Chain A
Amino acid sequence: MKKTYKIEVDCANCAAKMEEAAKKTEGVTNAVVNFMTLKMIVEFAEGADPKEVMPRVLKDCRKIEPDCEIYF
């Protein structure tokens, strides 16, 4: 399942780091961050619940980029 989320992040490099962090989160098979449109497209693993996974994605992203935001 694929879902798109609006995000807030300051620089392109940070966006790339968010992408890395989101990809490594459990329950996420793939993630793409589009800095230009400020969107994150997350592909969830089979059977994963986005409502449960997304807070962890945000937590992992905050670790590397403290002032980022994901709206879900």
Chain B
Amino acid sequence: MTRKQKKMLTRILIAAAMMLVLHFLPIDGVLGGWLRFALYLIPYFVIGYDILLKAWKGIKNRQPFDECFLMSVATVGAIVLGRVQSGDYAEGVAVMLFYQIGELFQSVAVGKSRRSISQLMDIRPDYANLETAEGETEKVDPDEVAVGSVIVVKPGEKIPIDGVVLSGHSALNTAALTGESLPRDVSEGDSVISGCINQSGVLRIRTEKEFGESTASKILDMVENASSLKSRSEAFITRFARIYTPAVCYSALALALLVPLVRMAFGLPADWMDGCMRALTFLVISCPCALVISIPLTFFAGIGGASKAGVLVKGSNYLEALASAGIVVFDKTGTMTEGVFEVAGVHHAALPEEKLLEYAALAESYSTHPIALSLQRAYGKAIDKSRVTSVEEIAGGGVTAVVDGHTVAAGNEKLMTRLGIPCDPCRSVGTVVHLALDGQYIGHVLIADRLKPNAEDAIAALRRRGVRKTVMLTGDSRKVADSVAAELHIDEVRSELLPADKVANVELLLKEKHGKEVLAFVGDGINDAPVLSRADVGIAMGALGSDAAIEAADVVLMDDDPLKIAKAIGIARKCTGIVRQNIGFALGIKALCLILGALGMANMGLAIFADVGVMVLAVLNAIRALNTQNA
């Protein structure tokens, strides 16, 4: 408990004790009942002075309609009524007392959930062990470490800054970043990202970024600012409270006046007191706090819970949108497949396979395209670039080069057709690199990309979550795309697209949405940025290390696992479900109690429950969103 909360608790205890004593004090009728009145005012002011003060300030600043005002009017009203009529002041003081107990409980509960959520995101490193020129280490603030410095990370410590391992090997726990419990092995030369916990060995790391630009800082920044982007439900409640509070105050006033007037019209005694009492009960019931507090809290807890599962959501609005995902559009490479190309075979080779691979690797040696890299890897030996001359890249086709004095052409069917070389089509699925030596066809290399192990389950899980349509967009050839789509049971596939075509296709799909459905696009973030921002919700893969993904997307899957898409939708559904429950429950109970209050069938006790009790229950329900195990 904070100092403020402790002070409030003391005030509550003192006021409660005084009430108890006063209850048994034989002061009835002394000084015409004024003594009793004066004595009851003491606990009233002890417990409620700040509320009265706030209400007064509200009136002074012409913003009178808030809960402090409601509470002040209701309690002052009850006490005045007590003076005039029954001589019972306990009720008015008790209303204030219970209101404060409820506020205290809420403050403790919110503080607790705030803490447990920040613990979830406990990836902020407190210090860095900087290696000095003398080879000793010095503990410094991570902010002070310059790019290119050497830091030492001991077992059990967090890696404070992104960098490259200079020496040592260890297993890293990336659970805080990815939700993945399997440790990742790293050794010399590997890139490491901040926020991981070093588990076994001592690592010396050369930093490659500043602390503020490192992964851990960026993620924290993102999550902490996430709940600033407000969801529609939150905006609704703010608007609602603005209309609701004055409406309730005027209805209470009407109730106080109308009930006696109606009675008079029927020839009954007016009984003004009864009308006032009903109006006051009405005011206590009506406080909108249960909604105002529980809805942002639910989204906050949901975002916290999602980040524990390795799903970063950039705002409550995106979490809310994700819940009604009806169409999910995927990129192929890097999203459904590993994005790592491997040579799967050499076909129709007119030369020995190694020789063929050697020509292919040499011809492509100046390219950094994934296909070229996979050829170089398959060749396996060091490439002597001096053997290669007059390299010419043919956009959308391939490359021609002179290797050891022979003209080599490596590329797709289009290139071969252009060069007038007949080639054999490949029957297997994959990317095919045809090769020609001095104008003669010498065979082709098949390069294939592996599907991610969870890709098929991911599509099935999405369907179970009620996603109506799955679509795959890819720049790859039709044959490859169709085969992947068939294997994964994706509904629709559009292939051979340029990046600009992807945006156009997403725009067409956006028009196909039914009602309030949302279209989500899942991509690996690097060349999908325009599409990610065009879709209703952009989900990025490959966040580990890819800044482009973090920037462009609304949701980031930290471990590139496509199964997490369904998980994210599940978490979002749970969250919006809780929000709906809370709105329905709070408004339902309040409406019921308001009707009972208007009819004179609700006493102050019920009114307090409708206010404080509903709020406490709504807060407890909201905290459920933290638990995403079964979402």
- A residues neighboring B (CB under 8 Å): 10-13, 16-17, 32, 34-39, 41, 63-67
Contacts and interface: CB of A to CB of B under 8 A. Distances in A.
A4 B224 CA distance: 11
Interface string B520-536: 00000000000000000
B355 interface: no
Nearest to B287: A13
Most chain B CB within a 10 A radius of its CB, from A12, A66, A67: A12
A35 to B, nearest CB: 6
Contacts of A11: 103, 106-107, 289, 292-293
Nearest to A14: B66
A66 B53 contact: yes
B63 A17 contact: yes
A64 B300 contact: no
B63 A64 contact: yes
A59 B57 CA distance: 13
A64 B297 contact: no
B63 A16 contact: no
A38 B288 CA distance: 21
Contact of B296 (A10, A36, A39): A36
B57 A10 contact: no
A41 B225 contact: yes
Nearest to B241: A13
Nearest to B297: A36
Contacts of A32: 228
| Leading 3 A-B pairs by shortest Cβ distance | A36-B300, A12-B293, A13-B292
B630 interface: no
Nearest to B67: A13
16 contacts: A11-B293, A12-B292, A12-B296, A12-B297, A13-B289, A13-B292, A17-B66, A34-B224, A36-B114, A37-B224, A37-B225, A38-B114, A63-B61, A66-B53, A66-B57, A67-B50
A10 B107 contact: yes
Given A11-B289, A34-B227, A16 B238 contact: yes
B41 to A, nearest CB: 22
Interface of B: 4, 50, 53-54, 57-58, 61, 63, 66-67, 103, 106-107, 114, 117, 224-225, 227-228, 238, 241, 288-289, 292-293, 296-297, 300
Most chain B CB within a 10 A radius of its CB, from A13, A32, A35: A13
B606 to A, nearest CB: 23
B57 A63 contact: yes
B54 A66 contact: yes
A66 B58 CA distance: 10
A37 B227 contact: yes
Nearest to B294: A12
A64 to B, nearest CB: 6
Nearest to B107: A10
Nearest to A35: B296
Contact of B228 (A10, A12, A34, A63): A34
Contacts of B288: 13
A36 B289 contact: no
Contacts of B107: 10-11
Nearest to B295: A12
A13 to B, nearest CB: 5
B316 to A, nearest CB: 10
Contacts of B61: 63-64
B188 to A, nearest CB: 39
Contacts of B297: 12, 36
Nearest to A10: B107
Given A34-B228, A39-B224, 14 more contacts: A10-B4, A11-B103, A11-B106, A11-B289, A12-B289, A12-B292, A32-B228, A36-B297, A39-B225, A41-B225, A41-B228, A63-B57, A63-B61, A66-B53
Contacts of A10: 4, 103, 107
A66 B50 CA distance: 9
A21 B463 CA distance: 46
A60 B63 CA distance: 13
Nearest to A63: B61
A64 B296 contact: no
A39 B225 CA distance: 9
B279 to A, nearest CB: 22
Contacts of B224: 34, 37, 39
B469 to A, nearest CB: 35
Contacts of B117: 36
Contacts of A64: 57-58, 61, 63
Most chain B CB within a 10 A radius of its CB, from A34, A36, A63: A36
